[in-house]
Structure 1
C-alpha cells in the first residue's frame, strides 16, 4: 500500500509540473485543444486559423460572455454562487455551472463528456488559469479553440465557414448565432439556423444589451471605450436581422 501511495504521489507531482509548464507555454503560444489533438491523431481534418483578440469582433466576445458566463469579468475562474445553486437543485443538477475559464481548462487539458472526476479537475485548473492569465488571454484562447462544427475550431474558421468573412467583421446578429450554437455546435449550424438556434440567438442579443460594462474586461485595448455595441434604438433592427 505504501508503494502504491508513493507512485500515485509521484505521478500527481509529474502531472502538476507538466500542467504548470503548459500553462506558462500557452500563455504566449497558440495552443491546440484536446479535441483537435484527437482529430490529428486519427488523421481527421482540422480547420483552425489562430487570430489575436484584436482581430475578433467585440460583438462575438460580448456574445459569448452573455451566453456562457455573464459574471466572467467578476469571478476568479469559478462562479461559486452558480455552482452552489446547481448542487442545491432538489431535482439534481439540471444545468451546467461551467464558466468560460473552466471550459477553456477543459478544452485545453481534459476530455469531453461529463463526469465528477473531470469536473473535479476543472475547478483547480480554472483557478490556476485565472491566476496565471489575464481575462483577455482566457477569452482569446477560448475563442480560438472552441468547436463550431465538425472539425471547425476557433472564431476565424467558424466565421469563414458560416458567413464567408473574417471574424473581425462579424455583425451582432452573426455573433449571436455563433454564441447560440456553442451548446451543441455539431447540430446547430449558424449559416442555416433552425428555429431553436434563432430563439437562442435572440436571447443572446438581449443579454448582450443588458451586459453593460460587465462584458468589457475581455475586450481588446481601446474597444471598451467605443459606443455601446447595442444602442437601444438599434436593438429592434438587430433582432430582426437574426
Structure 2
C-alpha cells in the first residue's frame, strides 16, 4: 500500500507569475498547488496511464484560498500538500505554503470528486485500484467553500477558453477561472490591494473555443462575486474574492 499522506516541494516565485506590483497572483498560486498535487500523484504511479486503465479521473469541484501574506517575485516557497481519504464521494486536499522563515503565507483547501470517464458520473466508491493509495484519514485544516450569490449582479464581459487557457483535458484549466474572475474587477481595486481570499465553485467545464458570459456583484460582506454562464445556458463557475 502506497503511503500518500503528505508531499513537500519548493518553488521559486517567478516574475512572470506576478502582477504589476510584483506580487504573486492568486491564479499563479493555484497553479503551484496544482503542480505539487500532480507531482505527488505521479510519484506514486497515479498518472495518466493509471487513470485511463481504470476509467476514472479526479475533477475539481470547489476550492478556497486564504492568503496570510502575498508572496513577492523571487521568494522561495515550500509547499506541503496533504490529501484526505474519500468521504461521501469527496476527496479533500489541503496545500500549505511557507516562506523561507518558515512562516505560513497561504492555505488552499480543494475538494475533488472521482468521475467515471465512460459515463461521466461521480463515483461514490473508488475503483479497487485506488485502494492501494492510502491518503490521510483526516486533514486538520478546513476552509469555508460556500458561495453566497448577491441580490444584484451586472454584466461584466465574457471569457473564452482560448488556446493558452486550456489544458490537456481540452477545456479551460481550473486555475484560469481565478485569472478570469480577477480580470473583471476594477483595475484600481487590485492596484491598491491584493487578493486575500478566493473561493471558486466549478459547475460545468468550458470546452476549448467556447465562451461564457460573466457577471459581477458585491456580496453582503464586501466580497467581489463573479460568475460565468456558458453559451448553452448552463452555469460554468462562481467565485468570490476579497481584496485588501
TM-score, normalised to structure 2, is 0.24
Structure with the largest fraction of strand? 2
Answer 1 or 2: higher relative contact order, Cα 8 Å, separation at least 6.
1
Structure with the largest fraction of helix? 1
